[in-house]
Amino acid sequence: MSRPVAIVTGAGSGIGLAVASHLITKNYRVVIADLNPSTGTEAASSLGPDATFIQCDVSSYTAQARLFKQAYEWGGNRLDFFHANAGVDDRQLLYDGPEKEELDEEGLVKPLNTKSMQVNLEAVIQGLWLFKYYVRRSKEAGGGKGKFVATSSAAGLYFMTQNPQYTASKYGIVGFVRAAGPILVKEGITVNAICPAFIPTNLCPPQILALWPKEHITPLSTAMKAIDAFLGDDTMTGETVELSQENIYFRKCVDWANDSQRWVGEESQGIWDLGYANVPEKSGYGT
């Protein structure tokens, strides 16, 4: 029987590289996917023959679709694990002063840079879409069950005023895994997220690293505790796991405001299912 196969995005450094390395110790063959060809190649060669590098900008749907096809073929028509981990912080500050505001030729305000939404959220959603396709087609090669993990952030549970678009993208991941997790597990795909606190990586500007108190650092090993929890339980799904210092915390949805909201959340699902089942073209619903 063939060995399980994983893709980890943003695995050229930091959390992604550590997860890729950890998966190899768990018998996986791993595709290191990263935008940066030099760190990506170096990371893959440091991990030996069980890893390969595929260059990919996950913010391009076509590039990510190519990544999945190549990885599946490299894995012997098999894919078992996908960690949507690549991430960037905000590339333009929402609050920049009037001197930074620009108009286009038509006199319209130029859009805010939302690259962090494309990389951190849109690519994660498309990643699950692609992952599901290939997991369904992995049975003959010995697979057919899937583990999907996305890297959110503590900013996806709290917030970072310095990075509002980033914060929105990381909150988006939390909602996404909570919504999709309980459904996809029915076909053997678990969907979970990690929400790291401060882990010193290349993402962090060096001037911040220099100032950061050591007692508020979360080690990379804490991320592996969450990965192990996901690997070890085929029913664990829809979870958002906060990583802080040495500990992992399974974070729940906010409390119901009142009993009516609890009813809407817990007991109205049949009505929603019926309503959506009767809509022939979902895309036109509500328009």
What residue ranges bind ligand NAD (CB under 6 A)? 9-10, 12-16, 34-36, 39, 56-59, 85-88, 119-120, 151, 153-154, 196, 198-199, 201-204
Cβ-based nearer residue to ligand NAD, 9 or 240 = 9
Cβ-based nearer residue to ligand NAD, 80 or 90 = 90
Cβ-based nearer residue to ligand NAD, 69 or 262 = 69
Contact between 94 and 112 (Cβ < 8 Å): yes
- Report in angstroms how near the CB of residue 88 gets to ligand NAD at its nearest: 5
Tell me the HSE value of 179 on the side-chain side, using a 13 A CA sphere.
8
- Report in angstroms how near the CB of residue 129 gets to ligand NAD at its nearest: 16
Provide long-range contacts, Cβ within 8 A and 24+ apart, for 112-118. Answer: 112/165, 113/165, 114/165, 115/59, 115/88, 115/90, 115/91, 116/87, 116/88, 116/89, 116/90, 116/91, 116/163, 116/165, 116/166, 116/169, 117/165, 117/168, 117/169, 117/172, 118/59
- Report in angstroms how near the CB of residue 137 gets to ligand NAD at its nearest: 24
- Report in angstroms how near the CB of residue 125 gets to ligand NAD at its nearest: 14
Cβ-based nearer residue to ligand NAD, 84 or 180 = 84
